[in-house]
Chain A
Amino acid sequence: MPPRLRTSNLPSSAASSPSIRSQCLFHPIRTSRELSQTSCQQVTARRRKFYEWLNGPGAQLKEPLPGSTNYLGAYDKYGNLVRASPAWQRKSRAELQREKEMKQAEPVVKAEPVKAETEKTEGASEGQEEVDELEMQTRRDEEAKRKETKDDDQQLPPETAEDLRPFPQNRFFRSQPVLSEDLREAIYQRVKRDGATVSLASVEFGVSNERVGAVVRLKQMEKEWIAQGKILAVPYARAVLEMIPVTPFIDTSLPENKGKRPVPHEPINDLIVHPATRQQLFVPVAESRQFTREDAGKAFDNHLLPADDRIPHPELVKAERELAAGLPFEERRRLVEGRLKAEQAKKSKEEARKAAAIASLKTVPQRRWDFVFQDVSVEAVGKKGRDPRGVGWRYGFPHEDRKKGHVKIPTRVDA
Chain B
Amino acid sequence: MVVRIRLARFGKKHAPFYNIVVAHARTARNSKPLEVLGTYNPLPQPPRPGDTFGRPWKDVRLDISRARYWIGVGAQPSDTAWRLLSMVGILEPKYRVTQVQGQVIKADSAAKSLKPAPAPATSTTLTPAE
Contact = CB atoms under 8 A, between A and B. Distances in A.
B52 A391 contact: no
Contacts of A372: 57-60
Given A373-B87, A393-B17, A414 B49 contact: yes
A166 B45 CA distance: 42
A378 B68 CA distance: 13
A415 B60 contact: no
Interface stretch (A13-21, A233-241, A283-291, A363-371): A363-371
B50 interface: yes
B56 A371 contact: no
Binding site of A, secondary structure by majority: helix, strand, loop or mixed? mixed
Contacts of B58: 369-372
Contacts of A223: 52
Residue among A362, A369, A371 with the most chain B CB within 10 A?
A371
B88 A362 contact: yes
In this complex, the interface size class of chain B, counting residues with CB under 8 Å from chain A, is: 35 or more
Contacts of B98: 367
A298 interface: no
B42 to A, nearest CB: 10
B88 A364 contact: yes
7 contacts: A228-B52, A368-B44, A375-B64, A378-B63, A390-B36, A392-B36, A392-B38
A227 interface: yes
A31 interface: no
A376 interface: yes
3 residue pairs, one from A and one from B, having the closest CB atoms: A393-B10, A392-B36, A370-B57
Question: By CB atoms of chain A within 10 A, which of B44, B53, B56, B62 has the most?
Answer: B62
A372 B98 CA distance: 20
Contacts of B44: 368-369
Contacts of B52: 223-224, 227-228
Contacts of B111: none
Nearest to B63: A378
A376 B19 CA distance: 13
B93 to A, nearest CB: 11
A395 interface: yes
B61 A391 contact: yes
A262 B17 CA distance: 51
B36 A381 contact: yes
A223 B10 CA distance: 38
Given A369-B58, A378-B63, A414-B48, 8 more contacts: A223-B52, A368-B44, A371-B57, A390-B36, A391-B37, A392-B36, A392-B39, A393-B17
Nearest to A413: B49
A171 to B, nearest CB: 43
A307 to B, nearest CB: 33
A369 B56 CA distance: 5
Contacts of A139: none
B39 A393 contact: yes
Given A217-B49, A414-B49, A373 B39 contact: no
Interface string B21-55: 10000000000100111110000100011101101
Most B Cβ at <10 Å: residue of A217, A362, A415: A362
A244 B17 CA distance: 47
Contacts of B11: 393
Contacts of A280: none
Interface string A372-414: 1111111001000000001111011000000000000000001
A369 B59 CA distance: 10
A344 interface: no
Nearest to B86: A364
Interface string B2-24: 00000010110000010111000
B71 interface: no
B112 interface: no
A217 B38 CA distance: 32
B36 A378 contact: yes
A367 B38 CA distance: 23
A126 B57 CA distance: 64
A214 to B, nearest CB: 13
Given A367-B98, A414-B48, A377 B63 contact: yes
B1 interface: no
B115 interface: no
Contacts of B88: 362, 364, 373
